[in-house]
Amino acid sequence: MTNTGVAAEEPGGITVNGSPEPHGPETVAALLIAHDIDTGGRGIAVALNGRVVPRTAWADTPIAPGDAVEIVRARPGG
C-alpha cells in the first residue's frame, strides 16, 4: 500500500488523528489497544493512509513508519 498520509514529525513516527507519535505498535489492533480503545466495541472505524481498514483485518494490518492513521468513534447524543 502506498503511503498517502502526512508523515509524522519524528523520523520513523506515524500520525494518529493528525498528531505525530513515535512508531510503536506494529498493527492496527495493537495501536487501538495502546490507545485504550476496546477493539471488541461497536462504533469504531479506522483508516490507514486514507483507506478504511475492515475490523476483520485490524490484527493483520501492519503500521509502518510514516503512516497516517485516523480513528473514529461514534458517540451517542448527536
* Tens of pLDDT, residues 34-64: 999 998 888 999 999 999 999 999 999 999 9
pLDDT of residue 70: 98
Spatial CB neighbours of 67, under 8 Å, sequence gap ≥ 6: 3, 5, 14, 15, 48, 49
**What predicted TM-score, i.e. pTM, was given to this entire model?**
0.81
The region of weakest confidence among 11-15, 28-32, 44-48 is 11-15
How far is CA 5 from each of CA 27, 38, 42, 76, rounded to the nearest angstrom?
A: 16, 25, 25, 29
Q: Span 14-73: which CATH code?
A: 3.10.20.30
Report residue 4's pLDDT band, with 50, 70 and 90 as the boundaries: very low
